[in-house]
Amino acid sequence: MDFNDTPEEAAFRAEARAFLSANAQPKAGSRPTLRQGGMDAAGVEQAKDWQAKKADAGMAGLTWPKKFGGREASPILQVIYNQEEEDFTVPRGLFEIGLGMCIPTMMAYAKPEQLDRYVQPALRGEEVWCQLFSEPAGGSDLAALRTRAEPDGDDWVINGQKIWTSGAHLSDFGIVVVRTDPNKPKHEGLTFFFLDMKSPGVEIRPIHQMSGARHFNEVFFTDVRIPDAQRLGGVGQGWKVSLTTLMNERLAVGETPRPDVDDLLALSRSVTLDGEPAIRDSAVRERIADLYARSQGLKFTRFRTMTALSRGETPGPENSIAKLVNGTKLQDIASFGLDLIGSAGLVVDDDLTEAYGMFQSALLSSPSLRIAGGSDEILRNIIAERVLGLPPDIRADKGIPFNRVPTGTR
């Protein structure tokens, strides 16, 4: 065992480091960047400039084919780039979905002339993409979506609603899965398209989250016309195409959310309990030990994933646990940290909070980590069925035409 890069990895790491040092600010001190609100116009411009710089330096689309501006690199290089980028303050969050999910789906299903048109502008950050999957009636049960598409000449006419669409209001294009045949069982009646988000009839409304932020949107479709030429995959093949998109979800090797266990440790040294630093208290120590062991377990699980990638293997299912563990861990750290602060933990005024208000902020944002991109419950099902090989649940909607599947009132 060792933790060393291969010579190729080391060379790339140095290249990435040099690029970042020359073009970005190192993270100063320990003040974390909290995702408070949505991205404003200036933030979008900064993000686009940064993406263009990355593309010019060959640091974008690392794993993509060379003809689309990539390097055809092993996914380990993407992980290494992400690790290095962690140490710098750079705009994040605008292009991950487009480049990580939308464009790879396009590469698998779009026509060559469409790829010539769309890939480069996306890679260079000139055009932003979003993914329109979830609906009010279809979250964990994605295939239960109801947005309808009906053929009309060379077009399809879309009516319905999507929800939880990150960055829809900033996007130029989107990929969307819709129902084209409600008389078929739910997985069989779906079809996949890409569309211009500025099309007439597309209405975007931001969702005001419990954390106060607005990252997600509702997207309403009223008689929106999409040319059939923008269909990805066959009519009725939308589920299969959706799985391609979901398989391209970014490798879960990203940043550890703050506050982390080191932040909790620092806090427990600075606040007192019974006249002593809280870190002296055995109950506090036990909680910190448990959280630290979990954090280290995740860190070294990531190392195992990186090892598989470095060897050119597909990472094993051990990678599926990261998201499941991280959500609850963040919620636990936030809540326990506030418990240590005491009644002042309620206060979120900037000038009065401990630890930059990280714990308060995480208390309100952490529930989303346990829901977005696969809820804790769905992740446990995935581990049970795909890793442990347990039989699938019995489904009340199996084989039934979609328009006859029972629905609730919510």
Partner 1 sequence: MNFDFSDDLKQLRDQARRFLSEQCTPAVVRRSLDGQETFAAGLWKEMAEMGWIGAAIPEQYGGAGLGYEGLCVLAEEIGRAVAPVPFSSSAYLASEAILLAGTEAQKKSWLPQLADGSVIGCFALAEGTGNPDPRNVRVRMAGGRLTGSKWPVADGGIAHIAIVAARDEAGEIAFYLVDLANVPKRTLTTLDPSRDHARLELDGVQAQKLGEAGGWASVQALLDRVAIMMAFEQVGGADASLQMARGYAMERFAFGRPIGSFQAIKHKLADMYVALELARSNAYYGAWALSAGSSDIPLAAAVARVSATEAFHLASKENIQTHGGVGFTWAVDCHLYYRRSKNLALAFGGPPFWKNRLVDLLETKNAAQGR
Does 394 engage in binding with partner 1 (CB under 8 A)?
yes
End-to-end CA distance of the chain: 52
Q: What are the structure tokens assigned to 279, written together?
A: 């870190």
Encoding tokens for residue 121?
A: 């502008």
Min CB(77)–partner 1 separation in Å? 12
List 150, 218, 249, 255, catalytic entry: 249
Query: Mask 271-290, x = binds partner 1 (CB under 8 A)?
Result: --------x--x--xx-xxx
CB of 45 or CB of 262, closer to partner 1? 262
CB closer to partner 1 out of 208 and 386 = 386
Nearer to partner 1, 213 or 279 (CB): 279
Q: Does 1 bind partner 1 (CB under 8 A)?
A: yes
Q: Is 249 a catalytic residue?
A: yes
Pick out residues in 249-268 that bind partner 1 (CB under 8 A).
262, 265-266
Torsion of CA 55, 60, 64, 70, to 10 degrees: 40
Residues 108-147 that bind partner 1 (CB under 8 A): none
- 3-state SS assignment for residue 174: strand
Q: Report the candidate in 273, 284, 205, 281 with the shortest Cα–Cα distance to residue 38.
A: 205
**Length of the chain (residues):** 410
**Residue in the structure block whose two tokens are 């506030």:** 338
DSSP-derived pairing of the beta strands 231-232 and 190-196: antiparallel
Which residues, numbered 206-245, are part of the site for partner 1 (CB under 8 A)? none
Dihedrals phi, psi of 224, to nearest 5 degrees: -80, 130
The secondary element (H helix, E strand) that includes residue 158 is: strand 155-163
48/55 Cα distance (integer angstroms): 11
Q: Is 300 in the site for partner 1 (CB under 8 A)?
A: yes
- Which span (174-182, 234-242, 300-308, 341-349) binds partner 1, by CB under 8 A? 300-308
Q: Which residues are catalytic?
A: 249
**Using CB under 8 A as the criterion, which residues of the chain lie in contact with partner 1 when the complex forms?**
1-5, 9, 76, 262, 265-266, 279, 282, 285-286, 288-290, 292-294, 296-301, 303-304, 306-307, 310, 318, 321, 324-325, 377, 379-381, 383-385, 387-394
